[in-house]
Amino acid sequence: MRDMSADFKKYEFPEGKRYNSFVGYFKRKYGERLQKIVIDAGFTCPNRDGKVGRGGCTYCDNAAFHPAYSTAGKSLHQQMDEGIEFHKVRYRTTEHYLAYFQAFSNTYAPLEKLKSLYEEALSHPSVVGIVIGTRPDCVDEEKLDYLAALAEGSVLEGWSRSLAGEGIRTAPIVIMEYGIESCRDETLLRINRGHDFETARRAIRMTAERGLDVGVHFILGLPGETRQMMLDSCAMINSLPIRSVKFHQLQIVKGTRMEKEYAEKPEDFVRFSLEEYLDFFADMLERLRPDISIERFVGEVPPRFVNETPWGLIRNVELLRLLDKRLEERRTWQGRLFHETKHI
């Protein structure tokens, strides 16, 4: 058999990796590391307030997924300042930041309110852009037109930041991040998402048509989904006009409806050991388009929010090292089987 161990080098993945890392993509594009600062702007979701449902997604406790400095009672600038101090411990040389509107659905408000919040965040002197986490059923053409104008520099008069790789930038970076969670409508219904996959496809297309970078989020291991179903979803993901993707392994958070569902029907869930997950995610990477940047492949939830930590207290940086090692051992890389994957 021919040794294909060096074939991945033709893709010139960032940082010499065997996959397209999002951090490496940012460094190449902007000439420096840009760190996200999570902020909570006080939004809710349409499947919490009754517009499309009640109770939220069955797996969700938002407090488990954002840091302590991100609290809705604080001003956006206070959250940014505290977030910068928090991250400086680890990323001492980072100079510029992205305001990450993460908690709940961050386009679920009238446009005038959204303008006020986004522009307030962009007034912080260390912020060079915004990342907006939202649901695909919470955007429309008017909101996306505004965000496109913001990214084109026709909204904030006199706004400028100096980036290492770009010199003076006169328009903020704007990234949309859509929570999709699954490509299967049966799963979306079961977890109470309140939208179908076609809604996600439509929102992503509308966003990409306006020249905005699009990121998406999926959870691996949702009830009713087999390993093969998850692998088959790669074809659907590849069909989307996206820049980046986040994957999280399902974690059963205490107090959620999914905790009760898991207790009643554990056989409906695929649960991965760490070794199994590393191999499974390598299988996923092989099938994904090589130009899609991988922003995350695992999620971290503080131990107090879960009943068990089957992988121990291993941190994300070590998990990334283990993924690199596994890909090297298997002599594989992102996109190796992409042309053999059925496209949709």
Answer whether residue 312 is part of any domain: yes
Question: Is residue 58 a contact partner of residue 256, using CB atoms and an 8 Å limit?
Answer: yes
Q: What's the average model confidence in pLDDT over 247-270?
A: 95
- Position 63 confidence tier, pLDDT thresholds 50, 70, 90: low
The helix or strand, by DSSP H or E, that contains position 99, with its residue range, turns out to be: strand 96-101
Question: Is residue 187 a contact partner of residue 222, using CB atoms and an 8 Å limit?
Answer: yes
CATH code, 55: 3.80.30.30
Give yes or no for residue 137 having a pLDDT over 90.
Answer: yes
Answer whether residue 277 is part of any domain: yes
In this structure, are strands 244-249 and 293-296 parallel, antiparallel, or unpaired? parallel
Question: Is residue 131 a contact partner of residue 99, using CB atoms and an 8 Å limit?
Answer: yes
Between CA 291 and CA 279, with CA 219 as vertex, the angle to 5 degrees is: 70
The helix or strand, by DSSP H or E, that contains position 83, with its residue range, turns out to be: helix 76-88
Predicted pLDDT at 64: 58
Number of domains, the chain: 1
Answer whether residue 2 is part of any domain: no
Buried b or exposed e, range 143-175, using 16+ CB within 10 angstroms = bbebbbebbeeebbeebebebeeeeebebbbbb
Cα 116 → chain centroid: 24
Give yes or no for residue 317 having a pLDDT over 50.
Answer: yes
Answer whether residue 344 is part of any domain: no
Give yes or no for residue 343 having a pLDDT over 60.
Answer: no
Q: Give residue 109's domain range.
A: 7-338
Answer whether residue 1 is part of any domain: no
Give yes or no for residue 340 having a pLDDT over 80.
Answer: no
Predicted pLDDT at 3: 47
Query: What is the per-residue pLDDT across 19-38, written as a single tens digit (0 to 9) for each?
Result: 999 888 888 888 888 999 99
Query: What is the per-residue pLDDT across 170-208, written as a single tens digit (0 to 9) for each?
Result: 999 999 999 999 999 999 999 999 999 999 999 999 999
Between CA 204 and CA 211, with CA 205 as vertex, the angle to 5 degrees is: 95
Predicted pLDDT at 61: 76
Answer whether residue 159 is part of any domain: yes
Answer whether residue 249 is part of any domain: yes
Q: Is the dihedral of CA 108, 110, 113, 118 positive or negative?
A: positive
Answer whether residue 271 is part of any domain: yes
Share of the chain above pLDDT 70, in %: 95
The CA distance from 191 to 219, in Å, is: 11
Nearest to 136 by CA among 242, 60, 227: 242
